Structure 1
Amino acid sequence: MTDGKDMIGMENMAGKGFPENPGAEIVLASQSPRRQELLGFLFPRFTVRVSEADETLPEGIAPDEAVRTLALRKARAVAPEAPGALVIGADTVVAIDGLILGKPRDAADAAGMLRRLSGRTHQVYTGVALLGGGREECFHECTGVTFAPLTDGEIAWYLSTGEPFDKAGSYGIQGYGARFIERISGDYFTVMGLPLHGIYTRIGRFYKSFGAKLPNY
């Protein structure tokens, strides 16, 4: 169950854009080691700039809108520092019962999230923003993830690994949390935090629209 929604706008970005600099560098506005590793599968060379964007959101915001909004904020926060570059921002949330589950505040919060996910299917949304050459493009993808029923002992053990505390929904599909997942419906990399195929195809269109080739090729 993967879907995408595009939102394209035009703004005057700081510095020169793609038409003047077709070999523009790629900048990832994220300190996430997972996103850095994943982007490396697409582009061997890119720069990382940590975004200090405000991540507060209004109550009741839909998860798809939330991830697109935050991805765009992150990219916009970094763009003035990277004139001429293509800036990529991303954000991921877990949603269930109409609630958005971000990163846990503490162990009790993480345990509560895991109990809510236990034995049920939830959705993972990742939003991506691409900024460069005066253009902005945002999209999101959604993947369904089904958890096996978890015992209190399994939850306590998982918390002891430390893995849940920096992850939306309090679990990592690529780590110890993989043992709890019965199945997924959609793109695996969306759950990891960066939908690679969606990014690759859209960046290709981005460069093509300026008559440029993808960098690093």
Structure 2
Amino acid sequence: MMSPAPTPNSAPRLILASKSASRRAMLDAAGVPYEAIPADIDERGIERGLSQSSPPEIAEALSVAKAAALAAQHSDALVLGSDSLVVAGGKRFDKPGSREEASDHLRFFSGKTLKLHSAAALVRGDTCVWAAPSLARLEVRELSEDFIQHYLTEEWPEVGSTVGVFRIEAMGVQLFKSIEGDQFTVLGMPLLPLLDALREEGVLLA
């Protein structure tokens, strides 16, 4: 016997544990009903405890931690957590803390390939019901110092909240020669598998 299709009154409440504009824009464009409540967790502390883990494992663990933090406070909701991290030249990069640090990151990225790991997780109560990582590779062109400073004049402080110092939907696209991978991964979340999971959980119509 088939389950009845979810209605606005029967579908689970979905909370996005993030203030990310790009993740909100993805969900809005896809027609996903949700509310956004940023999670407050010690990301760097969690990362230190995962020093032996791989980048996709770290991105997934942070996604779960963000969702779990809010799920503990909202037992009636399904909570979506998401995270992204960048690896370049064998080094993992966090969000820049200042414009000067952003300049340093861009100088290091110049001429290299960024591996962008994005992940998402769904948590209900104390249980992670779904999680998935994804990967995109972005080849950075050779960046002149003049370009880096002009770019940051235009894009700072908005790119200060991004691990790769770019918004692909804005001027950040000028950083790259080529991109390999899902556009949603580049924007910060594996949207297509997430939509499948939301259908399984009854948030979206199957």
What TM-score range do you get, normalising by the shorter chain? 0.7 to 0.9
Query: 2: distance between equivalents of 1:215 and 1:170?
Result: 33
Where in structure 2 are the equivalents of 1:150-189 lying within 5 Å? 150-161=143-154, 162=156, 163-189=158-184
Q: Name the structure 2 match of 1:98.
A: 90
Query: 2: distance between equivalents of 1:172 and 1:193?
Result: 10
Q: How many residues align?
A: 192
Deviates more, 1:21-30 or 1:95-104: 21-30
Q: Name the structure 2 match of 1:25.
A: 13
Equivalent AA in structure 1 for residue 121 of structure 2 = A
For residue 32 of structure 1, report the CA deviation from its aligned partner: 1.0
Deviates more, 1:80-89 or 1:129-138: 129-138
CA 1:102 to 1:166, structure 2 compared with 1: closer, same or farther past 3 Å? same
Using structure 2 for the length normalisation, give the TM-score: 0.85
Partner SS for 1:174: coil
Equivalent AA in structure 1 for residue 108 of structure 2 = R
Query: 1: distance between equivalents of 2:28 and 2:36?
Result: 11
Deviates more, 1:132-141 or 1:172-181: 132-141
Partner SS for 1:81: coil
CA 1:44 to 1:62, structure 2 compared with 1: closer, same or farther past 3 Å? closer
Equivalent AA in structure 2 for residue 129 of structure 1 = A
Runs of 4+ in 1 over 4 A off after TM superposition: none
Unaligned runs of 5+ in 1: 1-20, 208-212
For residue 80 of structure 1, report the CA deviation from its aligned partner: 2.2
Partner SS for 2:66: helix
Q: Name the structure 2 match of 1:38.
A: 26
Q: Name the structure 1 match of 2:114.
A: 122
Query: 1: distance between equivalents of 2:193 and 2:90?
Result: 25
Query: 2: distance between equivalents of 1:70 and 1:83?
Result: 20
Contact 1:96/1:123 (<8 A) preserved: yes
Query: 1: distance between equivalents of 2:129 and 2:32?
Result: 23
Partner SS for 2:19: coil
Structure 1 residue corresponding to 2:43, chosen from 55, 80, 85: 55
Q: Name the structure 1 match of 2:69.
A: 77
Deviates more, 1:152-161 or 1:126-135: 126-135
For residue 141 of structure 1, report the CA deviation from its aligned partner: 0.2
Q: Name the structure 2 match of 1:204.
A: 199
Higher relative contact order (CA 8 A, sep 6+): 1
Unaligned runs of 5+ in 2: 1-8
- Residue deviations 1:150-182 (CA, integer Å, cap 9, x gap): 100000111112143121121221111111211
RMSD over aligned Cα atoms: 2.1
Query: 2: distance between equivalents of 1:156 and 1:60?
Result: 35
Query: 1: distance between equivalents of 2:66 and 2:134?
Result: 18
1:67 paired with 2:59, answer yes
For residue 104 of structure 1, report the CA deviation from its aligned partner: 0.3
Equivalent AA in structure 2 for residue 32 of structure 1 = S
Identity of aligned residues (%): 27
Equivalent AA in structure 1 for residue 22 of structure 2 = R
Deviates more, 1:87-96 or 1:59-68: 59-68
Query: 2: distance between equivalents of 1:139 and 1:45?
Result: 20
CA 1:60 to 1:108, structure 2 compared with 1: closer, same or farther past 3 Å? farther
